[in-house]
Amino acid sequence: MTKCKCVNCDCNIIHEEDVKAVRGKMLDDDILIATADFYKVLSDSTRVKIINALDERELCVCDISSLLNMTKSAVSHQLQNLKDMNLIKSRKQGKEVFYSLADNHVRQVFEISLQHVLEEKNDKASEN
């Protein structure tokens, strides 16, 4: 039994079996870093707005620029960030490029996050 030296921990016991069991199931650092990078991309409100728009339907840069009241250049930059992280995909139709969510996982992460935020907001509103 080892003493816990955690700042916010009042206990003095490390549960070795629990630590060992969890340590054996921890993911590789590369996977965890990639997961953190995924959330970093979503930490920008403009990119989340783009994800929100693309959750509704496939759009071109001009459509997204109009929706967000931004320049095509600024939107293109954000689209490239999202594409680099495989959160969106594109398809070319003539001279136009249309963007959509890369897969259903992106949609699910966005919608679950939104559901969580709305629940918290509704809980706070009902408290007042």
Cα–Cα distances in angstroms (integers) from residue 126 to residues 4, 113, 114, 115, 116, in the given order = 40, 20, 18, 16, 15
Evaluate whether residue 83 is within a structural domain.
yes
Range 66-72, long-range pairs (CB < 8 A, 24+ positions): 70/46
CATH number for the domain that contains residue 47? 1.10.10.10
Cα–Cα distances in angstroms (integers) from residue 128 to residues 22, 33, 64, 78, 81, in the given order = 40, 40, 36, 38, 40
Q: What is the pLDDT of residue 28?
A: 96
Q: What is the pLDDT of residue 12?
A: 80
Evaluate whether residue 96 is within a structural domain.
yes
Give me the domain span that covers residue 32.
Answer: 16-127
Evaluate whether residue 5 is within a structural domain.
no
Tens place of pLDDT for every residue, the chain, 128 residues? 555 556 666 778 888 999 999 999 999 999 999 999 999 999 999 999 999 999 999 999 999 999 999 999 999 999 999 999 999 999 999 999 999 999 999 999 999 999 999 998 788 778 87
Provide the residue type at 77 as one letter. Answer: H
Identify the residue whose tokens are 């070319």.
92
Evaluate whether residue 6 is within a structural domain.
no
Evaluate whether residue 8 is within a structural domain.
no
Evaluate whether residue 32 is within a structural domain.
yes
Q: Provide the domain count of the chain.
A: 1
